[in-house]
Amino acid sequence: EIVLTQSPGTLSLSPGERATLSCRASQSVSSSYLAWYQQKPGQAPRLLIYGASSRATGIPDRFSGSGSGTDFTLTISRLEPEDFAVYYCQQYGSSPTFGQGTKVEIK
Amino acid sequence: EVQLVQSGAEVKKPGESLKISCKGSGYSFTSYWIGWVRQMPGKGLEWMGIIYPGDSDTRYSPSFQGQVTISADKSISTAYLQWSSLKASDTAMYYCARHVGLGWFDPWGQGTLVTVSS
C-alpha cells in the first residue's frame, strides 16, 4: 500500500497570502494518478486537482498542482476567505489511499 | 447535473445490521465505478472499496475486506454499503463518490452519518 504523508499538518496564513501544501508518497506515483481535494467543515470533499496538475471543472486558477514521482505540491496563489479548509491528496493506483490532510487556518 | 444522493443518518446498536444507499443521477450509472470512503470523527479519509454497477465487479481495501459488503442495483441506479454486525468503531461519516477517468473521485455524495452506540 502506498502511504501518503502531507505536510505541514496545519498552515496558519492570512487572506491574500500564498499557501504551499506538500504530499509525499512512500513509493513513486504516476503523475496521472494523483488528486487533491478540499473539505470544509460539515461538507463532503470536493475535487480540486486530478492528474497532479489539471484543475477540475469550476476550480479557480489560484489553485495549482505540480510534482512527480514521490513529491507533489498544491499551491493556492492568494488565499481567499473561502479557501480556509482541510486539503487531502490521494493516489488512485490499484489500491487508492489518501494523505492525512493539511488544515489551512486563518492566522 | 451529476449527483449522488445518500440515505439519511442512522443510529444503531452494536450487533445490529445496516445497509446505507447512494443513488446516482444525471449520468450513465452503469458506466462508472462508485466508491465508498469512511471518515471517522475528526479524522481523515479512508478508501473502503469500489463497485462497477454495470457488472457488479467489486474491489475492497484490505482494511475493509470482510468487514463490509458493497453492492449495487443498476435498475434503480443505487449503490449500497452494508454491515452484518455493527461495532462502536463503525461510528463515522460514510461518503460515496463516482470514480472518473483513471480513478479520481467526482462528485461526492453528501455523506451518511452512522452512529453505533449501546
What would the pLDDT profile of B37-76 be if each residue is shown by its tens digit?
A: 999 999 999 999 999 999 999 999 999 999 999 999 999 9
pLDDT in tens, A38-57: 999 999 999 999 999 999 99
Q: How far apart are CA B111 and CA A91, in angstroms?
A: 21
The nearest alpha carbon in chain B to A86 belongs to B44
- Mark yes or no for CB contact B105/A47 under 8 Å: yes
- Mark yes or no for CB contact B103/A33 under 8 Å: yes
Q: What is the pLDDT of residue A107?
A: 92
- Mark yes or no for CB contact B106/A96 under 8 Å: no
Q: How far apart are CA B6 and CA B4, in angstroms?
A: 7
- Mark yes or no for CB contact A35/B107 under 8 Å: no
CB atoms < 10 A from the CB of A1, how many?
13
Residues on chain A touching B44 (C-beta within 8 angstroms): 88, 98-101
What's the grid cell of residue B38?
469512511
